[in-house]
Amino acid sequence: MLQVTGLSKDFGGLRALDDVSFEVYEGEVVGLIGPNGSGKSTAFNVITGFLPATSGAVRFLGEEITHLPAHQVARRGMARTFQLVRPFSHLSTLDNVVAGCLFGKAQIASRKEAESRAFGVLEQVGLADKAYEPARALTVVERKWLEVARALACEPRLLLLDEFMAGLNASEIPQAVELVGRLNASGITIIIVEHIIKAITRTSGRIIVLNAGAKLAEGTAEEVVENPAVIAAYLGT
C-alpha cells in the first residue's frame, strides 16, 4: 500500500531523515518508534506532503506521490493527525470535523451531507455529545479524539497517528488502544507513532525503529524490544 524508498529530509545542515526505506501493507497497524528528535514526525510530514522530500520516493496505492502537496495526498486516501493538536477553537466540534471533510477524498454534495458524515465520525470516536460545543471547551483528551475525527473525515485508507496517546492517563490509554483496533477492523491501515511502548506493542503487528533519522530496526514488538541496538539507542549508550 505504501512504499517509502531512500527517503531523506534535510533542514539546512541537519539530516532529519536519512535514507529511510520501509513498506506498509494493506490492513496492517505499523508502529513507528524512536527517541526524541529521531525523525518520526518528519517522516509523517514528508510522506503526507506537508514538507518536500530532499531525496527518495513515496508510493501510495501504486502511484508515485513524492512531490504531491498535502491536500492531493489526502484526496488519495492518506490522512494524519498532528502531534500538537490545534483545533479551530471558536468553531464547534462538529464544524472542526466538517472542515476536515472539505479536504478529504470524498466529494460531498451539500453542507447537510458533510454534517451528517462528520457526526458519524464523532460517534466513532465517542464525541457525538460534544458536537455543538466550541472546540475550546473540550478537554485535552477530547481534543485528541477530535484530531482523530478530523483525520477520519477525510475517509482515509491509510491513517498516520502522531503521538495521539501522549498526555492520556492510565484509564484513557486502553480506550485509545481500543479505538486503534476498531479503526483497523473497519478497514483502515494505520501507522502509529507513540512513545508509550506498551501501547504500541499492543496495537502494532510490526514496528519500525528510527534513530537519528535512520532506520535502526524493524520487526515484531518482541524482536525490537530485545534488539540491543534499540535498547542502546533508547538508553543513549
Return the residue of 83, 92, 175, 227 that touches ligand ATP, per CB under 6 A: 83
Instruction: Supply the minimum distance, in Å, between the C-beta of residue 36 and Mg ion.
Output: 8
With beta carbons less than 8 A apart as the criterion, state whether 159 and 137 touch: no
Question: In angstroms, rounded to a whole number, what is the distance separating the alpha carbons of residues 30 and 23?
Answer: 10
Binding mask 60-89 for Mg ion (x = CB under 5 A): -----------------------x------
Question: In angstroms, rounded to a whole number, what is the distance separating the alpha carbons of residues 136 and 22?
Answer: 38
> Hey, which residues between 4 and 43 contact Mg ion (CB under 5 A)?
40-41
Which phi-psi region, left, alpha or beta, contains residue 49 (left: φ > 0; alpha: ψ -120 to 50)?
left
Instruction: Supply the minimum distance, in Å, between the C-beta of residue 11 and ligand ATP.
Output: 3
Q: What are phi and psi of 93, to 5 degrees?
A: -55, -45
| Beta carbon nearer to ligand ATP, 98 or 225 | 225
Return the residue of 2, 4, 7, 16 that touches ligand ATP, per CB under 6 A: 16
Instruction: Supply the minimum distance, in Å, between the C-beta of residue 5 and Mg ion.
Output: 22
With beta carbons less than 8 A apart as the criterion, state whether 159 and 32 touch: no
Q: Report DSSP letters for 87-128, one per residue.
A: --TTSBHHHHHHHHHHTSSS----HHHHHHHHHHHHHHTT-G
Instruction: Supply the minimum distance, in Å, between the C-beta of residue 85 and ligand ATP.
Output: 13
Helix (H, G, I), strand (E, B) or coil at 58: strand
Binding mask 25-64 for ligand ATP (x = CB under 6 A): ---------x-xxxxxxx----------------------
| Beta carbon nearer to Mg ion, 114 or 168 | 168
- Other residues' Cβ atoms within 10 Å of the Cβ of residue 71: 12
| Beta carbon nearer to ligand ATP, 40 or 143 | 40
The angle subtended at Cα 120 by Cα 116 and Cα 123, nearest 5°, is 135
> Hey, which residues between 172 and 211 contact ligand ATP (CB under 6 A)?
none
Q: Which one of Mg ion, ligand ATP, none interacts with residue 36, CB within 5 to 8 A by kind?
A: ligand ATP
Binding residues (CB under 5 A) for Mg ion: these are: 40-41, 83
Binding residues (CB under 6 A) for ligand ATP: these are: 11, 14, 16, 34, 36-42, 83
